[in-house]
A and B are shown apart, each in its own frame.
Chain A
Amino acid sequence: MNKVKVLEKGRFNSALFSLNPEFLLLLFIYLFCAVTYTSSLYFDEVPPILMRGIQPATFPKGLIILITFLNSILTYLYFTKKVVSNKSVPAIFYKTIFSLLAFVLISHFVDLFLALIFFSFLISYWWGEKNIALILCLSVIFPLLVFILFEMVLGLRFPAGILTNLYYN
């Protein structure tokens, strides 16, 4: 559920500075701009004869300055608006993110096919499907069909792993 706090317009309220996700996003954008701008300071410079109009760093720098400017408008709007909403997400979202993380780790260190089966199973179960037989069937058969389709029709070779190696013999 989204918590909504109504504030008096124009009046300073410490709630605006609290760890409100919207405020955190604005801070994150500033941080992103700072990091990318600093990084752009280290781009190689080319001699004037080769630079074709502007130095390679000039265009990205201009964009970062524009993003910072637009973010400052959003910051101004954030502090002058009346309603601060705390956009929370249900627990199932975090479970989905966890499944994504697990997918990345398993596919990287163990096997891509196994990771897909694991992810499909977890998502179906956590999102509310209680028929285990159906989930198992779907999470094994569908990735297998897609694997075969990609391998046979598109001639794709999937990365090595426990199950994939078995498939490739």
Chain B
Amino acid sequence: MAENFLYMLAPIMSGKIFLILLLGTLFGLILGVLPGLGPTTGGALILPFTMTLEPLSAIILLTSIYCAGTYGGAITAILINTPGTPAAAATCLDGYPLAQKGEAARALGMATFGSAFGGIFSVIVLVFFAPILANIAYEFGQPEYFALAIFGLTMLASIGEGSPVKNLLAGTFGILLSTVGKDIMTSVDRFTFGVGQLTEGIGFIPVVVGLFAISEMLVQSTLTNQIFKRVAMKAVKLPTKEDFKYCFKTILRSSGIGSFIGILPAEGGTVASLIGYAEAKRWSKDPSKFGKGAIDGIAGAETANNAATGGAMVPTLALGIPGSATTAVILTGMIIHGLRPGPDLFKEQPEFLYGIFGSMFFANILFFIMGFFGAKLFARITLIPSRLLWPMIFVLSVCGTYSLNQSFSDVLLMIIFGVIGFVLRKFGFSVVPIIIGLILGQLVELTLRQSLVIFDGNYFLFFTRPIVVTFFILSIIALSFPYLKKKKQK
């Protein structure tokens, strides 16, 4: 235990790692502030660059971007009524009205405090729950892993944004993409159409950068006539004693909600902030203030979305099932560095995992300090015109994707997936299930085939294993949940 605690201090003990943590937090904040970017797209952009780093430094860079980027979205939400990240959408509801009343500093102060508190709370949850979950996963065989992956995908369909059918279709498409190339078990070519580059399969990075960064660039091209008006702000103020007293229960509740929602394999932060906000309203002494500048509304939403960061890392690290879109990017980072998250990683490389836990803890402290003293500066970044910003992002995307294999076909693939991502988003599909499907695809197929070898081809034997049956039942509940909810609302 004491050893693990020391591993957690690694990010501040090593100058190089601390510098990476600092840069990651700063970069994450900037990404979070810029509408359309955010930690997922930013993480995807930085992914190729992490190849030059050691695995621990690379993942620390990605996780610090995740923590700070999730908070950064609040600055834009409060000052220009545009969520920097989808997870900050609920913050707009009360943050902007409060800013318009001349209390932007108070709103930002509460968002900064709530985010840091929620983030630190969730890291504590992560430190305790991830090893427990990993221990449980030790009992899992191939059929259990297959059922778990299916459960992860169905959760994404039910809780994720948009239509469940569209999410499922996108997830299935992602799994289908993972089958392109040589079959890992028999070496038979699949969907290669005679193209040599496809025999190795479709790389994660061109797909991730294409679906997140390039499709977002195309989305931004349809929004060029948008004009952002920033509310003036002098400095960030810490919440007053009364604010603390008034919001503390909300912050605690949202920390719990965010961490729990984050643990579920789905779109963590966005869903968590909406539930955190709704619960803050339900328990508020004065719900009529919500939507007009309620300080507990900001606390509820912002605490929950940052609390989801640690929560979402629990299934990602313990089971290899991403808990959110950004953790899918982090998982991609781990895979390209040759790491497969799961129980074995806890046993074999505890210094690596506790280093990540520590970095998330310190990233929350760092963004609290940066947000508190630099929010005024970060607020200026929101006014960088997209017509200058996006060409730069494109240059970085192209060079980053090219750098992996020094192959122009990767760049071409990135552009193709950018266009596919745009079309799908235009018609209400989310691109996140495609990434998660692509990541989980190999696991789903491998575990299905190995299970069938164990069961001698008898599919019914899946139902003789209690954990598998439990996951299948949970999957059915997850799939029927949106329809039951709709029926109840009617």
Q: Which residues of A contact B (CB under 8 A)?
A: 21-22, 25, 29, 36, 39-40, 43-44, 46, 50-54, 56-57, 59-60, 63-64, 66-67, 70-71, 73-74, 77, 87, 89-90, 92-93, 95-97, 100, 103-104, 107-108, 112, 116, 119-121, 123-124, 127-129, 134, 138-139, 142-143, 146-147, 150, 153-154, 156-159
Known: A54-B449, A59-B448. A73 touches B165 (CB 8 A): yes
Q: Report the bound CA distance from A54 to B455 in whole Å.
A: 12
CB of B387 within 8 A of CB of A120, answer no
Shortest CB–CB separation between residue B325 and chain A, in angstroms? 21
CB of A39 within 8 A of CB of B395, answer no
CB of B394 within 8 A of CB of A123, answer yes
Cβ < 8 Å to A, chain B residues 122-176: 165-166, 168-169, 172-173, 175-176
CB of A53 within 8 A of CB of B449, answer yes
Known: A107-B411, A158-B402. A128 touches B224 (CB 8 A): yes
- Name A108's contact: one of B221, B387, B392, B408 (CB within 8 Å): B408
B412 in the interface, Cβ–Cβ < 8 Å? yes
CB of A77 within 8 A of CB of B165, answer yes
Cβ < 8 Å to A, chain B residues 172-217: 172-173, 175-176, 179, 183, 185-186, 188-191, 193, 217
Closest residue to A115 on the B side, CB-wise? B398
CB of A46 within 8 A of CB of B179, answer no
CB of A119 within 8 A of CB of B391, answer yes
CB of B169 within 8 A of CB of A67, answer yes
- Name A156's contact: one of B176, B188, B403, B426 (CB within 8 Å): B403
Known: A21-B427, A57-B190, A107-B411. A63 touches B179 (CB 8 A): yes
Q: Report the bound CA distance from A40 to B448 in whole Å.
A: 19
Query: Number of residue pairs across A and B with beta carbons under 8 Å?
Result: 155
B330 in the interface, Cβ–Cβ < 8 Å? no
**Max chain B Cβ within 10 angstroms of own Cβ: one of A56, A73, A143:** A56
Cβ < 8 Å to A, chain B residues 393-449: 394-396, 398-399, 402-403, 406, 408, 411-412, 415, 418-419, 423, 426-427, 445, 448-449
Closest residue to B182 on the A side, CB-wise? A56
Shortest CB–CB separation between residue A40 and chain B, in angstroms? 7
Closest residue to A90 on the B side, CB-wise? B222
CB of B222 within 8 A of CB of A146, answer no
Known: A59-B449, A123-B391. A157 touches B406 (CB 8 A): yes
Shortest CB–CB separation between residue A101 and chain B, in angstroms? 9
Q: Which 7 pairs across A and B sit closest by C-beta, in order of nearness?
A: A53-B452, A127-B387, A53-B449, A120-B391, A96-B221, A56-B188, A70-B169
A-B contact pairs, 21 of them (CB 8 A): A40-B191, A51-B186, A53-B449, A56-B188, A63-B172, A63-B179, A67-B172, A67-B176, A74-B169, A95-B221, A107-B408, A116-B394, A120-B391, A124-B388, A127-B221, A128-B224, A138-B388, A138-B392, A142-B391, A146-B399, A150-B399
CB of B224 within 8 A of CB of A56, answer no
Residues of chain B at interface, number, CB under 8 A: 56
CB of B185 within 8 A of CB of A52, answer yes
Q: Which residues of B contact A (CB under 8 A)?
A: 49, 52, 165-166, 168-169, 172-173, 175-176, 179, 183, 185-186, 188-191, 193, 217-218, 221-222, 224, 385-388, 390-392, 394-396, 398-399, 402-403, 406, 408, 411-412, 415, 418-419, 423, 426-427, 445, 448-453, 457
Chain B positions within 8 Å of A103 at CB level: 415
Interface SS of chain B: helix
CB of A116 within 8 A of CB of B395, answer yes
Shortest CB–CB separation between residue A39 and chain B, in angstroms? 6
Known: A43-B189, A63-B175, A74-B169. A92 touches B224 (CB 8 A): yes
Known: A59-B449, A70-B172. A104 touches B415 (CB 8 A): yes
Shortest CB–CB separation between residue B181 and chain A, in angstroms? 11
- Name B448's contact: one of A53, A89, A116 (CB within 8 Å): A53
Chain A positions within 8 Å of B448 at CB level: 53-54, 59
Q: Report the bound CA distance from A156 to B400 in whole Å.
A: 10
Shortest CB–CB separation between residue A31 and chain B, in angstroms? 14
CB of A74 within 8 A of CB of B166, answer yes
Known: A53-B452, A107-B411. A120 touches B224 (CB 8 A): no
Q: Report the bound CA distance from A89 to B403 in whole Å.
A: 33
- Name B403's contact: one of A70, A96, A154 (CB within 8 Å): A154
Closest residue to A46 on the B side, CB-wise? B186
Q: Report the bound CA distance from A86 to B186 in whole Å.
A: 46
CB of B191 within 8 A of CB of A36, answer yes
Chain B positions within 8 Å of A51 at CB level: 186
A sample of 13 more A-B contacts (CB under 8 A), given A100-B418, A143-B395, is A21-B426, A56-B190, A60-B190, A63-B176, A92-B224, A104-B412, A107-B411, A112-B398, A112-B408, A123-B390, A129-B388, A138-B391, A146-B396
Chain A positions within 8 Å of B406 at CB level: 156-157
CB of B395 within 8 A of CB of A128, answer no
- Name A128's contact: one of B188, B387, B396 (CB within 8 Å): B387
Known: A127-B390, A146-B399, A154-B403. A66 touches B172 (CB 8 A): yes
Chain B positions within 8 Å of A121 at CB level: 391
